[in-house]
Structure formats: C-alpha cells, structure tokens
Chains A and B, each alone.
Chain A
C-alpha cells in the first residue's frame, strides 16, 4: 500500500463538470492509498470569503433544515486543522469560480439518513435511504449553499454542483491552507462542516 502523499490539482476546474471529475478522481485515489491527499487550489480573489462567518451561518442553516423541531444535534465549537479526515460520505463544493475555497459537508450514515429524510421522506420509503445517501447529501449541500448566496456575497456563477464521494478515513489537506472545521452531532454521530482557509 502506497503511504506517500498524493496530490490533486483543482486550479483548472472552472466548469462544474471539471470539478466533479476531479473529486471523483479523489475518491478513486483514496481506494488505492492510505496516505493523505493534498489538494491544490487557486489563491483567493480580492473579495475573499469570510470563512468563520460562512462556517457559522452554514452550520446554523444545516441545523434549521434537518433538525428543526427535535434539536437532536449539538453544536460544537469550531477548530482549525491541517487535515480533514473524511467520514463515510463527504459532499464537496467550490465556493468560488476558481475553486479558491472549498466547502465539505462530511458525515456518517446517521447524517446521510437525516439528509434523505429532509429531502424525500414524503416520497420515498425510509428504508431506501441508502440508495439515495450520496445524492441526498449533495442535494442538502446544494440547498444550504444556495440559500446563503444572498448573505455571503457569492453569486450563482461562483457556485458549482456539489458532489458526494465515499472515502471514509481519507485525510485531505489543502496546499498552503488549513481547514476550519465545525462538528455538529449527537453522541458519536455527526455532521462535519469544513471550509478551506488560508
């Protein structure tokens, strides 16, 4: 098994389909190596993103959307780390046209099932959640980010389709950057909201 760091260049992923292909490539890389994967992203633009504020609002919106009544999820303090360790399902989305910031909504089966219930419980039997787990997490990410366009200063053009991969245990780093990570969970199950930052 290869333990050396692997790299993936996202700097030329300007089209949504390019970004999706690269993230799928990462899923494949994770199957053949246990080493960390280092992502190369573009430098931030002039405007830049207020990452702490974005993390805060994203996390609150996530709770509002998927856990509005029961308050099953606990909201934990954010922290900064060089590596993001992926749980079972991880939805990736760029937060700018040139992929200078990345958003990851990372969760286990518990979170994927909650995402499914939020989106489709009225239409699809609950026991089919596994079939739709990856799709549900991508769509939940899409819904959350889309609802933040107005407040974040982003435009529709900054915003590509999220894509979910399964790469449990894989460590992801951003070259020259770190992750701002926020854990929202219940017991050992959780959603992890991670945003790359300089």
Chain B
C-alpha cells in the first residue's frame, strides 16, 4: 500500500485529505502543518507521495518543495493550493512538484493526480 505525507496548515483540510486517501487505499504516514515540519517529516517517513499546500505560515509549500527536492530528486510531490495564478503553478512545477491541484479538493482530483504521476 503506497504511503502519503499530508502537508497543510488547516486541520480541516488535513482531515479531509486523510479521508480521501484512505478511501483510495493509501496510508497516510504523517501530517505536517507547515513547510519546516514537512521537510523534517519527509526525512523521517520517506513517503511515496506528498500532498503539499502552498500558503502556510513559517516556510511556505513552494520553499518546502525546493528543500525536499534538493536531497530527494525522486520525491513525488503534488501541490494543492487555492492560488489560481499561472506564476505560482509554474514556480511550484519548476521547483520539482510533479502535479498541481486547485482547491476545492475532491476525491477525483486527488486520486487522479496520484494515478497520473504513478504512471510516469
């Protein structure tokens, strides 16, 4: 069963994502509420996938993607954000994110993203 690290500063979003992932047959191996925590938890859990929010206090999601990718070039990170602008999407992908989902999050969007990057 593939493992996922869920990163979001919102407790309600983390709980929602966990429910979606569980329904899709994935195991959530960790939760982080900001970019700093995400980098540490990635090292500890080495998940198969990461769902990463962008707009978070302390370290934001885009900087966290950079930090994780600098030491784990094979990391499979899906950025999930409310930021609907091309620059943000391009920046996340340029830093190494493999896919981008715009909120609101749905079961179909999350599982489709994981499915697509699994096939690459």
What is the interface of chain A, defined by CB distance below 8 A to chain B?
16-17, 20, 65, 116, 118-120, 122-124, 132, 135-136, 138-139, 142-150, 155-156, 159-161
Q: Are A146 and B19 in contact (CB under 8 A)?
A: no
Q: Are B19 and A142 in contact (CB under 8 A)?
A: no
Given known A-B contacts A16-B57, A156-B54, A124 and B16 have beta carbons under 8 A apart: yes
Within 8 A of A (CB), among B4-31: 9-13, 15-16, 18-20
Q: Which residues of B contact A150 (CB under 8 A)?
A: 84-86
User: Please, what's the 1-or-0 string for B66-88, where 1 marks a CB less than 8 Å from any CB in chain A?
Assistant: 00000000000000011111111
Q: Are B12 and A135 in contact (CB under 8 A)?
A: yes
B-side interface size class: 20 to 34
Given contacts A123-B18, A135-B10, A144-B82, 13 further A-B contacts (CB under 8 A): A16-B55, A16-B60, A17-B57, A65-B104, A122-B19, A136-B12, A139-B13, A146-B55, A147-B103, A149-B85, A150-B84, A150-B86, A159-B83
Give the distance in Å from the alpha carbon of A65 to the alpha carbon of B84 in the complex: 15
Chain A's closest residue to B88 (CB) is A156
Q: Are A123 and B104 in contact (CB under 8 A)?
A: no
Give the distance in Å from the alpha carbon of A82 to the alpha carbon of B85 in the complex: 33
Shortest distance between the CB of B98 and any CB in chain A (Å): 19
Shortest distance between the CB of A99 and any CB in chain B (Å): 15
Shortest distance between the CB of A153 and any CB in chain B (Å): 10
Give the distance in Å from the alpha carbon of A124 to the alpha carbon of B84 in the complex: 26
Shortest distance between the CB of A44 and any CB in chain B (Å): 21
Q: Which residues of A contact B86 (CB under 8 A)?
A: 150
17 contacts between A and B (CB under 8 A): A16-B55, A116-B12, A118-B104, A124-B12, A132-B15, A139-B13, A142-B10, A142-B82, A147-B82, A147-B84, A147-B103, A149-B84, A149-B85, A150-B86, A156-B87, A159-B83, A161-B55
